[in-house]
Structure 1
Amino acid sequence: MSIFLERQQIRKRKTFAKRIKATERVLFSLAVVLGGVAAMYGLYLFVVSGPIFPVKKIVVDGNLTRIMKEEVETITGIGIGQKLFVVNVENAHERLKEYAWIREATVRRRLPNTIWIYVEEYEPEAIIINDNVPFYVDKEGVVFKKVEPGDPLEYKIISGVDSKDGSEQLKESLNLLFTYEESGFGKKFGISELHYDELIGYSIVTDNNPFQIVLGQDAFYDKIDFLSVCQGIVEHPGVGIKYILATSKERIAVGYHRDEI
């Protein structure tokens, strides 16, 4: 065999040996990676389903008046003894948000063994009548719950108004209600119902010695101010008011119960 052929065979053997070593290094690295992955997965299984980190305490925070803490726990589906890292906090949060009285909710894990739940309830501002069905509405105009038997009823009534969440008419109605309640006339006579009629406009039924105040279609806030200015004039001892027509922001017409005059 010639020297040239011998050198070629030597080079081939060296190249083959290098490839074998490179393959060995790759396989070794792969084995290390797979071993690490297996170890991490084993650790994950141990943490998630092993004997450590069981839920031992469920803390419910928030100023709760409509819903009991035990009811909050039941809604979430979380129980003592469940594995802390198995608990689906996102699912528990969604369950709470579906409950009619709950405005905001937060569910979090707290090591080593606690589930922390925060709940903020809706606070009704009034009851709005929609197709003869009463619903609660909050001060921001969110219609959040149908009024059921046994629910509290000590709220003002809003009727004849677009009851869709956040509608401009509903917001205007709430602003009108707030303004009247803060006025001198409103503090004296109160309000039981705010009604809107397409022909007449807004009207108020007072709470104390009930009578109707017709505010019409515009200048509501000026008319309310004028009512407070005229408060001492329209009241007569022993004579009950039947109605007040606020025809303008500078003029009112007052009707009295005739049998008392």
Structure 2
Amino acid sequence: MFGKLEKRSLNQTLNSSRRIFKSMAILCARIVFLGLIVLVGAYSLAYSRHPPAVAMGFQLEAIHYQGLVHLDRQALDALIYQSVSKNLMSVDLDRIRDLVESESWVREATVRRKLPNQLVIHVRERQAIAVAAIDNELYVVDEGGVILDRPGPSHQSIDRPIVRGLMNAARENAQEENNLRMQVYLRVVEALDSHNRSISEVDVETPEQVAVIPTADPIPIHLGDEDFLRRYETFISQKDLYDRLKEEYGTIESVDVTYDNKIIFHTPQKKGETVMVQTSNPL
């Protein structure tokens, strides 16, 4: 009987030890879990304030560009490095794209990370297609009238008449209006392709009343808004008459070929005369 009591007491002691051990294990697990939460929180807070040493491997060290022709690579580097985070993983790619696209030469840009420490930026540049006279200054512009640069040796390939009549970019609705005017300009130079070398300027200030200015005689020839080639060749066909009238009146201020079957030569206002000549072919 004594043996049975001793055995029962031993079992009770073992069960009690198991319960204590289990309770201690649960307590330790809770302590470890809470410790992990505190550690993660502390790490996150420290990381947000001071990137840990492990993140140093993601420090932005190089920017590679694709598609640059006119843009200054070093100027772009300086703009980006001074404006965004130095850690590649926290860099705002949209912010970088906006910065690059703020440059006048940039039509579109895409940005991507290249681990562990590089950015790759692909740029699609605007194309310089004309020289524009804006507020008595000359600028190189694209097909939408966006000012790109001042004329220089790198723009000698531009072989079109100067476009006159674009708005200063600071004026309200200038971008939309200049885009419209440039589309008219491009229509004119395309239609007059065989005569462009003899034309100095195309004035699109009033798109419905386009005027071209010949190189040899710097007076506006008003072509209206259509039939540019036929109307300009009507003026050319009356060049002998123009020369006689110029000799007679001293100067001709402008020529209007927008009417059907006639061409109008405007003499100086002090002369008080306008010469209208019938043409043989309708315009």
Whether TM exceeds 0.5 here: the answer is yes
Deviations 1:221-255 (A, max 9, x none): 13x1423775885578xx9x997531315544589
Kindly indicate whether residue 175 of structure 2 is the aligned counterpart of residue 166 of structure 1: yes
CA contact (8 A) 2:165 2:204 kept: yes
Give the direction of change, closer, same or farther, for the CA distance of 1:197–1:95 in structure 2 (3 Å limit): closer
**What is the TM-score of this pair, normalised by structure 2?**
0.55
Give the direction of change, closer, same or farther, for the CA distance of 1:30–1:160 in structure 2 (3 Å limit): same
Kindly indicate whether residue 162 of structure 2 is the aligned counterpart of residue 157 of structure 1: yes
Kindly indicate whether residue 63 of structure 2 is the aligned counterpart of residue 58 of structure 1: yes
Secondary structure at 1:85 match in 2:
helix
Give the direction of change, closer, same or farther, for the CA distance of 1:28–1:77 in structure 2 (3 Å limit): closer
Q: What is the rounded CA distance, in whole Å, between the counterparts of 1:180 and 1:70 in structure 2?
A: 39
In structure 1, the residue matched to 2:201 is 193
Give the direction of change, closer, same or farther, for the CA distance of 1:204–1:162 in structure 2 (3 Å limit): same
Range 33-42 or range 157-166, more displaced: 33-42
Match of 2:113 among 109, 126, 130: 109
In structure 1, the residue matched to 2:211 is 203
Structure 1 residue identity aligned to 2:194: K
Q: What is the rounded CA distance, in whole Å, between the counterparts of 1:189 and 1:145 in structure 2?
A: 23
Q: CA deviation at 1:118?
A: 1.8
Structure whose residues are more often helix by fraction: 2
Kindly indicate whether residue 254 of structure 2 is the aligned counterpart of residue 247 of structure 1: no
Deviations 1:136-158 (A, max 9, x none): 4321233x346377774746423
In structure 2, the residue matched to 1:118 is 122
Q: What is the rounded CA distance, in whole Å, between the counterparts of 1:172 and 1:95 in structure 2?
A: 27
Q: What is the CA RMSD across the aligned residues, in angstroms?
A: 4.5
Range 25-34 or range 125-134, more displaced: 25-34
CA contact (8 A) 1:127 1:137 kept: yes
Structure whose residues are more often strand by fraction: 1
Q: What is the rounded CA distance, in whole Å, between the counterparts of 2:183 and 2:134 in structure 1?
A: 19
Q: What is the rounded CA distance, in whole Å, between the counterparts of 2:58 and 2:154 in structure 1?
A: 40
Give the direction of change, closer, same or farther, for the CA distance of 1:250–1:211 in structure 2 (3 Å limit): farther
In structure 2, the residue matched to 1:137 is 141
Structure 1 residue identity aligned to 2:52: L
Kindly indicate whether residue 221 of structure 2 is the aligned counterpart of residue 214 of structure 1: yes
Kindly indicate whether residue 89 of structure 2 is the aligned counterpart of residue 85 of structure 1: yes
Give the direction of change, closer, same or farther, for the CA distance of 1:187–1:47 in structure 2 (3 Å limit): farther
Structure 2 residue identity aligned to 1:248: Y
Q: CA deviation at 1:110?
A: 1.2
Q: What is the rounded CA distance, in whole Å, between the counterparts of 2:261 and 2:180 in structure 1?
A: 22
Q: CA deviation at 1:116?
A: 0.4
Range 227-236 or range 109-118, more displaced: 227-236
CA contact (8 A) 2:88 2:113 kept: yes
Number of aligned positions between the proteins: 219
Give the direction of change, closer, same or farther, for the CA distance of 1:106–1:47 in structure 2 (3 Å limit): farther
CA contact (8 A) 2:161 2:196 kept: no
Q: What is the rounded CA distance, in whole Å, between the counterparts of 2:69 and 2:124 in structure 1?
A: 10
Give the direction of change, closer, same or farther, for the CA distance of 1:65–1:234 in structure 2 (3 Å limit): farther
CA contact (8 A) 2:141 2:149 kept: no
Kindly indicate whether residue 41 of structure 2 is the aligned counterpart of residue 34 of structure 1: no
Give the direction of change, closer, same or farther, for the CA distance of 1:234–1:175 in structure 2 (3 Å limit): farther
- Structure 1 unaligned blocks of 5 or more: 1-19, 256-261
Q: What is the rounded CA distance, in whole Å, between the counterparts of 1:196 and 1:33 in structure 2?
A: 70
Give the direction of change, closer, same or farther, for the CA distance of 1:252–1:226 in structure 2 (3 Å limit): farther
